[in-house]
Structure 1
Amino acid sequence: MGEGLQEIKISEIAGVTFGQAQDYTAMTGVSVALFSGENTGGIDVSGGGPASREAHLLSPYTDTKSLNALVFAGGSAYGLGAADGVMKYLEERNRGFAVPGGVVPLVVQSDIFDLTLGDGRVRPDAKMAYGACLAAEAGREPVSGSVGAGTGAAVGKLYGMGQSQKAGIAFHAAQLGELQVGVMVVVNAFGDVFDWESGKQIRGLLDSKRQNLLSTEAELYKQMIALQTGTNTTLAAIFTNAQFNEGEMNKIAAMARSGLARAISPVNTMADGDTIYAFSLGEVKADLNIVGLLAARVLSEGIKKAVTQEDFSEEAYRNLVLAH
């Protein structure tokens, strides 16, 4: 990776495990990050239409509490009920914020809009999310591609799903000395995706024959189209073994936003619900600026992976979108 950076598996970052479940008939799914120890978190919301649950827990103005889980899912706001399955799983294992008579699991969630791909009447639910938690118990390296919350993800949707391309979820991590920074990212963007190093467009809006890439930005300038709000989102979560407080993690989440700008254009529009979480899981001493810079880098690379490691063929995706 250069500059002393070494690519690692995200499973090497202690304190978090990942599980996923999906429905390929409905083309939707859920991805869960389960925290095993103390953590602090932050959040940056830069899109206009986020679908989220309990996100305010990551505000620096609330009481300091370690979270128990993060959920990314499809189903738009309908899919927010998936967190109930995660809470059930955690309560059964007595994991949560201690209260008289038991615990209250602290679970935050954000969803993508995938209702126009597959069967929009089927959304991730508590049962699916519970299954994702069971999958996380194995502690295996999570799979990138058209799985979990990335099952129904797509990009380049200016002219509708018929000219879009398939995207998905990705996991990526890097190490610099003792410092580790990783990302889980679901790419369901309105805009196009670019190789952040070369600047070349690699995924996004296609022409009407689905043969050549178009520039969403150029088409917007040409057509002056009003965007349909709330139907796109890029969701990301940064995980680091560096030690920071809530305010600092909110700043790191904000710094990671530049990773979106390097890899997606247009981005942060009112048609997107772009949200970045950031979690401190360890005790490594590191400079906030370096961690924020590295967070942006792993996010950009994660976005690239999310559109190049998905396993849907062009023919299968074309048939899927034309069926609608």
Structure 2
Amino acid sequence: MTSSPKVAPQGAITDVPGIEAGHFTDSRRPTGCTVVLAREGAVGGVDVRGAAPGTRETDLLSPSNLVERVHAVMLSGGSAWGLDAAGGAMQWLEEQGIGLEVGPARIPIVPAAVLFDLYLGDARVRPDSGAGRAACEAASSQAPAEGCVGAGAGALIGKLYGVERAVKGGIGTASVRAGGFTVGAIVACNAMGDVVDPETGKVIAGARREDGRTLMDTRRSLLAGEPPLRLVQAANTSIGVVATDAVLTKAQASRLATAAHDGLARSITPAHTMLDGDTLFALGTGASGRPAEMVLLATMAAEAVAIAVVRAVRAATGVSVGGLHVPAMRDLAGP
């Protein structure tokens, strides 16, 4: 597979103290997984907005439930099969002595979400526990790679009018600093809809017209009455993590995950559909020692997510697998 090109830096989720990130990218076909580590534990929250999610341990993050802190979040390709990657992260964390002490055992808490990337290559190749372990071994506090790596390796954008008219998706990261806080995000973008630059309102990646070189604008096409050519159940989904150094309660972490979805809505259209499993996690490391200012943090989280989505498609490269060629944003004939 072609390595992802570099795009201008705009921060990363690892700018948040206490957060590390790592990828595993499978060389056999475009798929992989991405882990976000919080070795010291972080207060966690989640919001699932898509109607076709694949998740693990999300109920645990409800503010009314017992466990306060998580030690990692796993993002994976492979659809429901990819949930196995979280088990590999648990094994690795246990070996590092990291986890929740429960009687005689130490149990790492690793929520997870998956996306559908089985269009490209042999669908029997998908992330497993070994892939999750490899992502943990690769994790560091350095800015993670972007584009067609990790959970974004097999991501596609704009499939409502057929996968043969899609554009390559990927994974992106960003961070925002304001008011003495840092908020970072990492998003694997595999949306059914198009990606829009929130600064201009223009579609920059998504469903292509029959000429294969220009974008059709899914939102406008739907509103104009152009019926979708193909509807594939649960074959999409954008997943990600937002993290902050603010001191959060569990309820605040849940609310931060909710607000972060505003970033998906700004940068993906349509978002949160019946055919997407859009899921965002929120982590609070508390490293700043400062209590949360939720209006500010919510604004920062949405901003970081929107930037991360745009960066995901700008860093992506085209791919050809099994007779299917999917170009990237940079391959098209113009904005």
Q: What TM-score do the two structures reach when normalised by structure 1? A: 0.92
Distance in 1 between residues matched to 2:122 and 2:306, nearest whole Å: 30
**Unpaired segments ≥5 residues, structure 2:** 1-8, 327-335
Task: Number of aligned residue pairs: give it.
Answer: 314
Superposed CA RMSD in Å reads 1.8
Identify the residue that residue 155 of structure 2 maps to in structure 1: 153
Q: CA deviation at 1:140?
A: 2.4
Identify the residue that residue 99 of structure 1 maps to in structure 2: 102
Taking only the aligned residue pairs, the percentage that are identical comes to 36
Selected match of 1:32 from 35, 39, 44:
35
Selected match of 2:125 from 99, 122, 125:
122
Structure 2 contact 13–19 (Cα < 8 Å) conserved: no
Q: Do residues 60 (structure 1) and 66 (structure 2) align?
A: no
What amino acid maps onto 2:217 in structure 1?
A: S
Distance in 1 between residues matched to 2:188 and 2:275, nearest whole Å: 16
Distance in 1 between residues matched to 2:309 and 2:12, nearest whole Å: 16
- Over 3 Å counting, the alpha-carbon distance change for 1:149 and 1:63 in structure 2 is same
- Over 3 Å counting, the alpha-carbon distance change for 1:127 and 1:319 in structure 2 is closer
Identify the residue that residue 259 of structure 2 maps to in structure 1: 255
Identify the residue that residue 3 of structure 1 maps to in structure 2: none
Identify the residue that residue 266 of structure 1 maps to in structure 2: 270
Structure 1 contact 27–119 (Cα < 8 Å) conserved: no
- Runs (4+) of structure 1 exceeding 4 A deviation are 317-320
Identify the residue that residue 185 of structure 1 maps to in structure 2: 187
Q: CA deviation at 1:319?
A: 7.3
The 5 A counterparts of 1:212-223 are: 212-221=214-223, 222-223=225-226
Q: What SS does the aligned partner of 2:45 have?
A: strand
For structure 1, which segment, 30-39 or 299-308, has the greater mean C-alpha deviation from structure 2 after superposition? 30-39
Structure 2 contact 116–237 (Cα < 8 Å) conserved: yes
Q: Do residues 235 (structure 1) and 239 (structure 2) align?
A: yes
Distance in 2 between residues matched to 1:169 and 1:33, nearest whole Å: 13
Selected match of 2:141 from 139, 142, 145:
139
Q: What SS does the aligned partner of 2:92 have?
A: helix
**Unpaired segments ≥5 residues, structure 1:** 1-5
The 5 A counterparts of 1:268-307 are: 268-282=272-286, 283-307=289-313
For structure 1, which segment, 161-170 or 282-291, has the greater mean C-alpha deviation from structure 2 after superposition? 282-291
Structure 2 contact 50–277 (Cα < 8 Å) conserved: yes
Q: What SS does the aligned partner of 1:69 have?
A: strand
Q: What SS does the aligned partner of 1:217 have?
A: helix
Distance in 2 between residues matched to 1:161 and 1:296, nearest whole Å: 28
- Over 3 Å counting, the alpha-carbon distance change for 1:244 and 1:273 in structure 2 is same
